[in-house]
Every structure is written in C-alpha cells, then in structure tokens.
Amino acid sequence: MDLNYTDEQQAFRAEVRDWLAETLPREMSEKVRLGKRLTKQDSESWHAMLNARGWLAPNWPKEYGGAEWDAVQRQIFEDECCRAHAPRIVPFGLSMLAPVLMAFGSEEQCQRFLPRILSGEDWWCQGYSEPGAGSDLAAVKTRAVRDGDNYVVNGQKTWTTLGQHADWIFCLVRTDPDVKKQEGISFLLIDMKTPGVTVRPIVLVDGGAEVNEVFFDDVRVPAENLVGEENKGWTYAKYLLTHERTNIAGVGFSNAALQTVKDVAAKVHAGGKPLAQNPHFAARVAQVEIDLMAMATTNLRVVSAAAKGQAPGAESSMLKVKGTVIRQELTSLLRRAVGPDALPFQADYLEGGDNAEMMGPEHAATSAPGYFNNRKLSIFGGSNEVQRTIITKAIMGL
Amino acid sequence: MDFNLTEERRMLQDSLGRFLSDKYDHESRRKVIAAGKPYDAGLFAGLAELGVLGALFAEDQGGFGGLGFDLSVVFEELGRAGVIEPVLPAVLTGSLVAENADLVENIIAGEAVVTLAHSEAAARYDLNYVTTTSSNGVLNGAKVHVLNGAQASYLVVSAREGGDDWDKDGIALFLVRTDATGVTITDHVNNDGTSGATVVLDNVTPDARLTGGFAALELAVARGTLALSAEALGAMESAKALTLDYLKERKQFGIPIGKFQALQHRMADVLIEVEQARSAVINLAGHMEADRDTRERHVSATKNLMGRVGAQVVEEAVQMHGGIGMTDEYALSHFARRITMIDHWLGDVDHHLARFIDLSAGEA
C-alpha cells in the first residue's frame, strides 16, 4: 500500500500544471470557473491548443497521434485540467468514436476519420438515444435499409449533445427488425450535411440548448460508412460505453466544484457572518467533502488496477453512481450558497457577458442553471438506476 | 501509488483469516458471553502466538509492524470474524508505553493487557477534558468506559498536573497497576459483548509517569480510531456477505428476494458505500504517519464516514433479512451490534463531523 504518486507521476503533474498555466487563456478559464456556457469557438480553440501540444488524445496509441498515457496519467491530467478550470474536451470523436474505429473499423476508416478528429476538422456527435430508447438502448428503431451501395436511413435520434455544431454523427441503426433486438443493430457514420438530416434544438430546464433532436428522412449513407459488420453494432456500442465510463467518477470536477462552494460560502453572509461559519451549511459541505475524499481513493483504486491491465466491472457503475451523487450535491450546495441572488435568470451573462452586466455576486447567474443542467448526470451514460441494477446483478449473479 | 498489500502483510492477513475461520464463529462467541466471560483466554493466547499483537508494534519495540497498514490489516480480519478478545487495548496504549520494553514484551506475548483509562463522565468524546488530578505523587479521580479494565493488569491513566478542566496543556500520563492500593474497578458488559469498566482512583501511587502528554494521547487515539474503523469495515464485509447470500437464498412469492429491484437498488447502495468505507480506512491508514494536522483531519473524516456507512449497512442488512436479522441466534446480530457500538467509541458521526470542520478551518 502506498498512497503516494511516483516521482515520474509527480513530475508529469508539474509539467501539466505548468503548461496549463502558460497556455490556458484566462478569459476561457474564467468562463469555466464561473459556469458560463462555452461557444463552439471556445471548444475548438482549446482543442487546437491541446492538439498542438500532443495532449489531445490521452488514450490513443502513438501511431495515431495519441499520447498513449496510462490510466494514472490520464487521471492526473484530468485533475489538473479541472483544477485550472480548463474547458471540458468534447469527447464524442476523441474518446467515444475513435476507440471503436481503432478496434472494429477498417484501416481506411481509421485513416480517413482519425486525423480529422485530431485536427478538429470534424466535430462528431453521438446518435444513440431515441424517443423510445433511453435506458433500454437496444430498443433503437431508426431504420437503415440497404439499397445498392447505400443505406437509406429513416428515423429520429434525441438528446444529441452539441449536435448543432456537429459535422458527423455516429448512429446505432436497426438493420434487421426480425431478430432479437440486440442482434439487428448496426453502427453507421453519417455526414450531417447529407440531404434529409434535420437538427432541432431542445431547450432544457436551464434555459440552454445543448441537446438536440436529429431527424433522418430518406438519408442516403454510403455503405462504406458502416463500421465493422452489419448487425454487430450492439457489440461496438457496449465497447464504446465502457470507454465513455472512464473518468466517470468526475473527481476533478467535484474538487473544483467543492472549492467554488467554499469560495462563495466564505464571501456571502448569513446572519452577519460568512455563510461558511453557519454550522448547518458547514456540516453539509463537510459531509460531501468527506465523501469525496473517500471517493477519490475509490477512483484511484480502480484507476490503479486499470493501469495494471485489469478491466473494471461493477466498479465503473459504482463510481458513476457515487460520483454523480456527489457532483449533484455540490451543485445543490452552490445554489443554496448564492441564496436569493440565484433568483434572476440572466441569459446574457450565461452566454458569456461580463460581471459588470450581472446582478448579484459571482455565480449568482450560473448556480441555478448549473444545478438544473446537472440533473443530467444521474440520467445519461446509463441512468443511476440502470447502474444499480448492473452492480447488484454483477455481484450477486442473479 | 500501489493499493496492494506487501507480501508480509498479505501473509499475515491470510494466516489470521484462516486461523479465525477455523477457530472462531458466532456460536463460540455466544457461549463465551453466555458463560459470563469477557472473552476466550485460549483464543486470545492463540492470536498472540500468531503474532497479531506483535504486528501492532514497530521492530525497535520488539514487534514487526506498527504502521497504519499493519493495524488496518489486523483489525479488518478481527472485525470480519467478530472477535471480542482484547487486542484493541494494545493499540490504545502501545505507543504510550513503548519505552517500557519488558511491558511491551508481555503485551506482545499476550500475557499482559494494558488498557487506556482516559474518558471521564462529562467529557463525552472530547479528548482534552481531564479532571483526574496528579498531585503530591498520587492520582485522584474517576474514569469511565475503560475497555477491558477488569481484565487488565495495567492502566494508562490521564491526569491533570496543571491548567483547567479543558486545557490540552497540563495533561500527563501514568502507568498504574490495576491491583494498586486505591484502585477500584467495576466492570460491565457492553451492548456488543465487549467488556467495559469504571475505574475510581483514590490516592493511587502510579508505577511510572510516562513520557508525553496530550499530543501522545491524541496519536494513540488516532491509532485506536484506525483500528476501530478497520474492524468496522471487516464487520461490514461480513454483514454484506450474509445479506448477499440471503438475497439469493430466501424466496418469497416464489422467487429469490434478490430478484426484486427495490432490494437490488438498496443493496447496490450498500455495496457502493462499503467500498467508500474501505477507501476511508485506506486514507486513514495511509496518513497515520503524516504530520499531525493531516493525520487528524483523516481521523475525523474516516470515523465520520464509518459511522454513517456503518448505520446504513446495519439498518439495510437487518431490513433485507427481515425478522431473522433481528435474532440473537443469527450472526448478523453480532455484527449489527459491534458496528453500531463502534460509532460510540472515540467519537461518533456528529462529533467527528464538527471536528473535521474545525480542523479544516485550522481551529482544532
């Protein structure tokens, strides 16, 4: 047992920290720190900065331009990025599609798409969920029918995150409706500019529109855009979800959010004293901090095992549930810390306006929308109820 | 970073686990308690022979361990088996009597139980409250919740040489023979079957004044808190295993009750929280040798979490078992009592939450 990082790992952390201090523009980190919404250009320029340093694709092998870091290095990198309030790297191409292409795609598909993911030329989005297929993902109905050298796609995807920016979408489509539902699904890459593709934003409870509905109306997709074999898409989808679940604990996000709660509670006053000194509020913060201290170690136990080549099983689901419960509690604490100044809906500020335009203290405009937005954490990536079922079934074998 | 045990600790864990699964079960413990005995002397001797007590001391003290992870390995196994034999007193006093080589040798051999007589009735969980006095070479006062006090041959007694009742300064530690003139020990059984005692000191001449005051006491209690937390973890693992088996075996409405999602989801939360408890024990064990402020912050974080998770595991395990989970005859009842009573030793959930807040603000 040794809770210390090795000298190499500490040197790596210092290198990442220094680079972030030099490279990450202050206006960008302030937006992230304050919970403002990022523009497409923000995401693209951060993507380009990381790519220039060779740190954009931590989990990719070097032959494709990745950093080929182990799980501990990736965790260190995540921690430091969160600590510095770096924008989240848009994961759909880099850490969702790319591993699937490398494992199951053709050499031609890898050569064609991977460099464009790195360069930022292609913005990808995920076409998984449908109105009738949420937690029961294998129930997808979007139909793809082979017609010569093309598939003809009809149907609808939903909850497509940042689909409004996307050039491409990777989709689960039904290619055989007459077999067991998991056995008739294929994994198809679709150019969003193809005639018949329509994107419609969904305005959410936080007033923003980060998700979309995507409609397919007789969309003709070249058959060469099929990944792997027809009707084997469910295998690839599950593979992708295991990659989606890395860093599922969100320890870095929670550490940053905890610091924000503490900063706000030290500044705002209740009963003439800093809120941080209110015993009821302090107790809630302390309890979540204690949970986070333990969860950070639970996460490192899983990460450390993964770095030694062990595949996480039910542990990923445990981290997903506990990690999201903690993150949601922190968004709830921030909203309460801000107090009555969380009331006004200040859309201009949220979309990037400066402090001078805002009513109330820092985080006043973003705390309630942030709280609302983060309800998604226990819903997406396999809802927490799905995860609980996975955990118990895996451990009981029932 | 490495979350694997060293080879030596893994061997200790294996041999202790095997020894206990061969020699110790719920029935034998029930018989000991029913016979009015505080513990099984033969089993305690066997644990000493196995090196369980030696693992709690450093090499230069005559042991072969003594670090945080040595304590956590031993106590997780003791907790898993539900052991009530007096190993914990050696943790609570070991670092305080370390200078006394002969005494330590006797402790390691299982021949002497040396326990801590510190808490006083009005102290609740505060370590700095001491009204027992030391003046003119004699001790006067009363101590409560002295673990295995009636079985001990020596007590480590805290007494005040100066300052007021709540001062950290002015607290000194003394080694006292339990058969010394003026020592009155009244014992009782605790809810979990362990043996407690009240000690009255009336003009007692101590054997020795020990080196170290409040800071040494705080470290000893930190080590005790780690041991208790690891023991609670082991007991939770047992309660969890019993419950998982029961969910698979018990049928109602024609199917195993583990098929019901209402129970699956609650069990999933128990499984998650037991992993949290394991991480909390690792955190405390890994910081036992850190600077005082870091160590104490982990003491309070870990004990708070163990208390919360312990209550959840106990309540859910009993509930998922139904009536059978409440019977004395079934092993779960022992783990339920032990986990719950551990919350009442060395500071409970609320005490340590408040203390964690104070420590985080640099105020404790």
Dump the DSSP string for B104-155.
HHHHHTTS--EEEE---TTTTT-TT----EEETTEEEEEE---TTGGG-SEE
pLDDT of residue A71: 87
Same domain, A75 and A211: no
Same domain, B98 and B37: yes
Tell me which chain A residues have a C-beta less than 8 angstroms from the C-beta of B272: 318, 321-322, 391
CA B5 to chain centre: 21
Confidence of residue A356 (pLDDT cuts 50, 70, 90): confident
Q: What is the DSSP letter of A92?
A: I
Domain boundary among A203, A231, A259: A231
B179: tokens are 């058969």
The residue of chain B with its CA nearest to that of A7 is: B1
Q: Residue A172 pLDDT more than 90?
A: yes
Put simply, whether B285 touches A (Cβ < 8 Å) is yes
Q: How close is the nearest chain A Cα to the Cα of B15, in Å? A: 19
Integer Rg of chain A from CA: 22
Confidence of residue A246 (pLDDT cuts 50, 70, 90): low
Amino acid at B162: G
Mean pLDDT of B270-290: 98
Tell me which chain B residues have a C-beta less than 8 angstroms from the C-beta of A300: 1, 3
Same domain, A381 and A256: yes
Same domain, A44 and A163: no
Domain boundary among B196, B212, B228: B212
Q: Residue A396 pLDDT more than 90?
A: no
pLDDT over 90, % of chain B: 96
Distance CA B303, CA B345 (A): 10
Same domain, A261 and A353: yes
Domain that holds residue A61: 7-89
Distance CA B172, CA B214 (A): 7
Mutate to test the interface with B, among A7, A79, A277, A293 (most CBs of B within 10 A): A293
Domain boundary among A74, A89, A104: A89
Report which secondary-structure segment, H or E, holds B156.
Answer: strand B154-160
Q: Residue A245 pLDDT more than 80?
A: no
Same domain, A212 and A76: no
Find the CATH number of the domain harbouring B24. 1.10.540.10
Burial of B234 (0-12, 13-18, 19+ CB in 10 A): buried
The residue of chain B with its CA nearest to that of A392 is: B268
Mean pLDDT of B19-31: 92
Confidence of residue A353 (pLDDT cuts 50, 70, 90): confident
Task: Report if residue B248 sits inside a domain.
Answer: yes
Closest listed residue to residue B339, CA positions, set B282, B285, B274: B274
Tell me which chain A residues have a C-beta less than 8 angstroms from the C-beta of B353: 283, 286-287, 290
Q: Strand, coil or helix: what is A306? A: helix
Task: Report if residue A166 sits inside a domain.
Answer: yes
Per-residue pLDDT tens for A129-157?
999 999 899 999 999 999 999 999 999 99
Domain boundary among B185, B212, B239: B212
Find the CATH number of the domain harbouring A57. 1.10.540.10
Find the CATH number of the domain harbouring B183. 2.40.110.10
The residue of chain B with its CA nearest to that of A323 is: B272
Task: Report if residue B282 sits inside a domain.
Answer: yes
Same domain, B146 and B96: no
How many domains does chain B contain in total? 3
Contacts 24+ apart (CB under 8 A), A352-355: A352/A31, A352/A36, A352/A37, A352/A39
Same domain, A253 and A368: yes
How many domains does chain A contain in total? 3
In the block, residue with structure tokens 């979800």: A241
Per-residue pLDDT tens for B251-269?
999 999 999 999 999 999 9
Tell me which chain B residues have a C-beta less than 8 angstroms from the C-beta of A76: none
Same domain, A271 and A378: yes
Per-residue pLDDT tens for A177-228?
999 999 999 999 999 999 999 999 999 999 999 999 999 999 999 999 999 9
The mean predicted confidence, pLDDT, of chain A is 94
Residues in chain A: 398
Q: Residue B286 pLDDT more than 90?
A: yes
Amino acid at A250: G
Q: Residue A355 pLDDT more than 80?
A: no
Domain that holds residue B188: 114-212
Q: Strand, coil or helix: what is A48? A: helix
Same domain, A253 and A321: yes
Q: Tell if the CB–CB gap between B272 and A321 is shorter than 8 Å.
A: yes
CB pairs under 8 A between A and B: 124
**What pTM value is reported for the model?**
0.95
Q: In chain B, where does DSSP find H-type helix?
A: 7-23, 26-34, 41-50, 68-81, 88-94, 101-108, 214-249, 261-286, 292-321, 332-342, 349-360
Same domain, B350 and B219: yes
Same domain, A254 and A368: yes
Task: Answer whether B175's CB lies under 8 Å from B210's CB.
Answer: yes
pLDDT of residue A397: 81
Find the CATH number of the domain harbouring A157. 2.40.110.10
Same domain, A183 and A304: no
Between A291, A314, A389, which is nearest B261 by CB? Answer: A389
Domain boundary among B212, B227, B247: B212
Same domain, B231 and B341: yes
CA angle, A147 then A152 then A156, to 5°: 160
Task: Report if residue B2 sits inside a domain.
Answer: no
Find the CATH number of the domain harbouring A302. 1.20.140.10
Same domain, A12 and A151: no
Q: What is the DSSP letter of A2?
A: B
Same domain, A215 and A310: no
Task: Report if residue B130 sits inside a domain.
Answer: yes
Distances (CA, A) of B44 to A392, B37, B49, B184: 37, 13, 9, 25
Same domain, B340 and B260: yes
